[in-house]
């Protein structure tokens, strides 16, 4: 399958853990929804697409592929007859996130509703149902990247409920495991919504449920996702031994043995917990392991949506936290600048959070006026969107340290200037 004209299609199938037979079934189901009669696409047809032997499927197959994947067929690597292969460029990831975000945002501030089925659901559950729910997860994650996780709990739990409801219908064992994995993913997203909004009480229950569902799915990647969130939850509760234990449990999952990307995240999260627990040397060793592992990761390798946020920018951001916590404020400032330079534009919430870390690092070096100016940019970045609770807590840390280090007049001026924006966010 190397050097084919439809490598983007192969990458999409890999990211969605879909075989050629399953894609053929999904395309046939989509054709049935579009025309009223199921399609006849065979597994060998998919192999011909992947090999480049068939560069332009039939019209109804093209429409079905777009319905199944949510992408234009040209973004999947197909080339219209008579056109150059340069016409089949993959869609820019940031553009796709913006399109997903735009499609998901409603005019009201109510909970986001999930995508309804395109047609009455058959009694047998198949790949098309899995894809539909996977697209809903991606829409929720796009919303989270843009504005933060607050407000997504209800929609996430509704998605988990739908995935579990489909378990009561006829399905293959593979589809059942993927539905359990989706239910775990949705439930973990609900937990993250509470963590990011600063409402910690219910997050632990969601994470317990998500871990059980990941076990039913036999999915070590989602187990790592849950342990990663549990480490974040424990750190916010200032339970640093549990934060370290949770991140070490993430390191022990099977996915870390075959994916340097996942191993890097687990090491970085351990470093953060150790730093807050006062173990500076151990934290810096873990940070070095995270850097080494990320250097081995292939950035072009397809990845699950939940870990799309992790890469050089996020590792720089976590490095800033570790360095500032162990007393290396200058190194923390440098890491924050590197993180901001590498962050995609679509990660607005992450940009605001990293800017807050930058302000803290500047303050801890005694550069009070610069720190105050930097912190003011947070409200500009998040303009029109409420500040997530986790960001409010970080600004509270900044205000506390400002009051302790800066002249009283300057500290009160900062508080007065941003009180309205802070309280109305």
Residue 122, pLDDT above cutoff 70: no
Asked whether the predicted pLDDT for residue 48 surpasses 70, the reply is: yes
Q: Is residue 33 part of a domain?
A: yes
Q: Given this model, what pLDDT does residue 300 score?
A: 80
Q: What is the pLDDT of residue 53?
A: 85
Q: What is the chain's mean pLDDT, rounded?
A: 84
Please report whether residue 47 resides in a domain. yes
Tokens of 260: 């340097």
Rounded CA-CA distance 300/295 in Å is: 13
- Name the least confident of 172-181, 202-211, 392-401, 411-420: 411-420
What percent of the chain lies above the pLDDT cut of 70? 86
- Does the residue 139 lie in any domain? no
Residue (of 411, 405, 240) closest to 329 by Cα position:
405
Task: With respect to residue 79, please indicate whether it lies within any of the assigned structural domains.
Answer: yes
Are the beta carbons of 26 and 132 closer than 8 angstroms? no
pLDDT tens-place string over residues 323-348? 999 999 999 999 999 999 999 888 88
- Res 103 pLDDT > 80: no
CA-to-CA dists, residue 230 to 154, 210, 342, angstroms:
20, 11, 26
Is the Cα torsion angle 100, 101, 105, 111 positive or negative in sign? positive
**CA separation for the pair 126, 129 (Å, rounded):** 6
pLDDT over threshold 60, residue 100:
no
Instruction: Determine which of 18-32, 51-65, 150-164, 225-239 has the lowest per-residue pLDDT on average.
Output: 18-32
Residue 198 has pLDDT above 50, yes or no: yes
Q: What does DSSP assign to residue 406?
A: S
Q: Return the structure tokens found at 185.
A: 């993913």
How many residues in total does the chain contain?
425
**pLDDT tier for residue 77 given thresholds of 50, 70 and 90:** confident
pLDDT digits 0-9 by tens, 133-168:
988 888 888 887 776 666 789 999 999 999 999 988
Give the contacts of 216 (CB within 8 A, at least 6 positions apart).
177, 180, 184
Within a domain: residue 344?
Answer: no
Beta carbons within 10 angstroms of residue 349's beta carbon: 25
Helix residue spans in 219-367 (DSSP H): 220-236, 240-251, 255-258, 260-276, 280-296, 312-325, 329-342, 348-364
- Asked, for residue 99, whether it belongs to a domain, the answer is no
- What are the tens digits of pLDDT across the range 269-293? 999 999 999 999 999 999 999 999 9
pLDDT at 307: 92
**Could you count the other beta carbons within 10 Å of the beta carbon of residue 407?**
10
Q: Is the pLDDT of residue 66 over 80?
A: yes
**Domain with 76 in it:** 7-87
Structural domain total, the chain:
1
- pLDDT, residue 39, reads 85
pLDDT per position as a tens digit, 229-250: 999 999 999 999 999 999 999 9
- Burial (CB < 10 A; 0-12, 13-18, 19+), residue 405, is middle
Tell whether 15 is covered by a domain: yes
- Residue 423's pLDDT band, with cuts at 50, 70 and 90, is low
| 173: number of Cβ within 10 Å | 7
| Domain contains 71 | yes
What is the predicted pLDDT for the residue at 148?
A: 67
């Amino acid at each position: 399958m190397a050097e084919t004209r439809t490598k983007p299609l192969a990458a999409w199938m890999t990211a969605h853990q879909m075989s050629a037979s399953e894609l053929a079934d999904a395309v046939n189901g989509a054709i049935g929804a579009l025309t009223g009669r199921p399609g006849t696409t065979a597994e060998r047809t998919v192999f011909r697409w992947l090999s480049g032997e068939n560069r332009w499927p039939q019209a109804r197959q093209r429409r079905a592929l777009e319905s199944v994947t949510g992408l234009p067929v040209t973004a999947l690597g197909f080339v219209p007859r008579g056109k150059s292969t340069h016409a089949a460029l993959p869609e820019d990831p940031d553009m796709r996130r913006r399109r997903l975000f735009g499609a998901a945002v409603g005019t009201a501030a109510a909970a986001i509703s999930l995508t309804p089925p395109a047609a009455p659901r058959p009694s047998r559950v198949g790949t098309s149902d899995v894809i539909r729910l996977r697209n809903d997860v991606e829409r929720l994650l796009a919303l989270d990247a843009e504005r933060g996780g607050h407000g997504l709990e209800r929609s996430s739990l509704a998605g988990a409920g739908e995935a579990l409801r489909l378990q009561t219908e006829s399905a293959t064992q593979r589809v059942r495991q993927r539905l359990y994995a989706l239910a775990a993913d949705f439930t973990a997203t609900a937990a993250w919504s509470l963590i990011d909004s600063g409402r910690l009480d219910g997050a632990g229950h969601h994470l317990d449920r998500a871990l059980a569902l990941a076990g039913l799915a036999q999915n070590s990647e989602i187990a790592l996702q849950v342990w990663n969130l549990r480490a974040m939850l424990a750190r916010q509760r200032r339970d640093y031994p549990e934060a370290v234990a949770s991140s070490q449990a993430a390191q022990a999952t099977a996915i870390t043995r075959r994916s340097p990307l996942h191993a890097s995240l687990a090491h970085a999260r351990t470093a953060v917990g150790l730093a807050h627990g006062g173990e500076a040397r151990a934290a810096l060793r873990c940070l070095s392991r995270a850097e080494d592992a990320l250097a081995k990761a292939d950035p072009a390798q397809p990845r699950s949506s939940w870990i799309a946020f992790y890469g050089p920018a996020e590792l720089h951001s976590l490095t800033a936290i570790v360095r500032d916590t162990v007393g290396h404020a200058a190194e923390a400032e440098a890491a924050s600048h590197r993180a901001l330079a590498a962050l995609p534009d679509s990660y607005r919430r992450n940009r605001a959070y990293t800017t807050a870390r930058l302000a803290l690092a500047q303050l801890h070096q005694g550069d009070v006026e610069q720190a105050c100016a930097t912190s003011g940019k947070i409200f500009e970045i998040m303009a029109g969107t409420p500040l997530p609770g986790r960001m409010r807590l970080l600004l509270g840390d900044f205000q506390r340290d400002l009051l302790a280090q800066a002249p009283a007049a300057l500290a009160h001026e900062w508080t007065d200037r941003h009180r309205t924006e802070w309280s109305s966010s």
